[in-house]
Chains A and B, each alone.
Chain A
Amino acid sequence: MISNIVLTTGLLLILIGLWGVLTHRNILRIIIGFSLFGTGTHIVIVAIGYVTNGTAPILDRTLSLSEASSRVVDPIPSALVVTAIVIGMAVTAIMLAYTIRLYDSKKTLSIDALMESKW
């Protein structure tokens, strides 16, 4: 039940991000759309790892070693998402750097100014 709700939220965010990328003309809004897309994907990956009535995979005084494997959620999607978040942020930084250079050369933030290589 919980993972179904979180999964639906993540998939909705992916759709909204994709709509934002395809529709807007302002480069900064396209970048925000990409960021939404990435966040939605991370939420989907984490939601797939949920085990019913599970808790965080951290062993402390409330979770002993013997009952660990029956009460924790899947740790592998969380580990993958940690890497993915950092790389998503790095790609956003490069996109913003490109935006600054494009604004320097075209003096406008609209993507319609960059259509000369359209096929």
Chain B
Amino acid sequence: MIRSLFTIFAIVLLGVVFATIAVSYSEQQSLRPLAESYVQLVPRDLGAANVVTGILLTYRAFDTLGEVAVLFMVAASAGLILGTRQRRPEERGEPAQEAARPSSEIVQTGSQILAPLISIFAAYIIMNGHLSAGGGFQGGAVIASCVLLILLTYPEHRINVEFLSITESLAGALFVLTGIVGLIAAGGFLDSHILPLGQFGAFFSAGAIPILSALLGVKVGCELSVILDRFRPQP
């Protein structure tokens, strides 16, 4: 009783605060000074057509590095929390599982059509990070969804977790190494001027941003796949 009253009180109070915000908000008419300076700087200084990716991978690159660290921590935590379960359901006190029914023909055919298309789409998103909407994180998430499709369709399929872990760690280490090269050869840590800017809008342009995008995409994709594999029932 007290709990539901407290809940209603909290929701109503928060609702009043939010209503005040929503009613008195007026749309921006022009860009704020910091945003305007970013929109001017990214095409000229970095040569990237996508302003958001340019901000994420150069001016705010520390946030991206922190996020890479957070993702690695999550993969390790998922391995820690779920890796020490008793292997077979009998030891956990649950009834023994009968063999899983294999997936039907419709699902298998559908996934055979879709898995290559999803992989190509993921590669396209990663490679186009600096030219059009896209980027490393988005492409990595799509790769993980392709792996999830395969895991759902073929439940007995074993994925090579050691290979994925090694790939993910290598990608993360290369990301930091590229940043250190930026310290030596260009303006600072994770500066993208270590490679030539190239022609605006071409594929090989915007300095080191395509390389950083690709490394991010590989790292995020492998990481999410490892996390997904942890959630499967151990046979």
Q: A-side interface residues toward B, CB under 8 Å?
A: 1-4, 7-8, 11, 14-15, 18-19, 22-23, 49-52, 56-60, 65, 68-70, 72, 74-76, 78-80, 82-83, 85-87, 89-91, 93-94, 96-98, 100-101, 104, 107
Tell me the minimal C-beta distance from A85 to chain B in angstroms.
Answer: 8
Q: B-side interface residues toward A, CB under 8 Å?
A: 4, 7, 10-11, 14-15, 18, 21-22, 25, 27-32, 34-36, 38-40, 43-44, 49-52, 55-56, 60, 63-64, 67, 70-71, 74, 77-78, 81-82, 85, 92-93, 132-133, 135, 137-138, 141, 201, 220, 227, 230-231
Residue of A nearest to B84 (CB): A101
Q: Of B25, B49, B78, B93, which contacts A4 at CB under 8 A?
A: B25
In the complex, given contacts A7-B25, A19-B7, A100-B85, what are 11 additional A-B residue pairs having Cβ atoms less than 8 angstroms apart? A3-B28, A4-B22, A11-B21, A60-B132, A69-B36, A69-B40, A72-B31, A75-B35, A86-B137, A86-B141, A100-B82
Q: Is the interface of A mostly helix, strand, loop or mixed?
A: helix
Residue of B nearest to A97 (CB): B81
Q: Of B27, B71, B138, which contacts A90 at CB under 8 A?
A: B71
Tell me the minimal C-beta distance from A41 to chain B in angstroms.
Answer: 12
**Residues B50 and A58 in contact, CB atoms below 8 Å apart:** yes
Measured between beta carbons, the chain A residues less than 8 angstroms from B44 are 65
**Residues A51 and B28 in contact, CB atoms below 8 Å apart:** yes
* A85–B74 alpha-carbon span in the complex (Å): 14
Q: Of B74, B133, B141, which contacts A56 at CB under 8 A?
A: B133
**Residues A97 and B7 in contact, CB atoms below 8 Å apart:** no
**Residues B77 and A97 in contact, CB atoms below 8 Å apart:** yes
Given contacts A22-B7, A74-B35, A75-B39, contact A57 B51 (CB under 8 A): yes
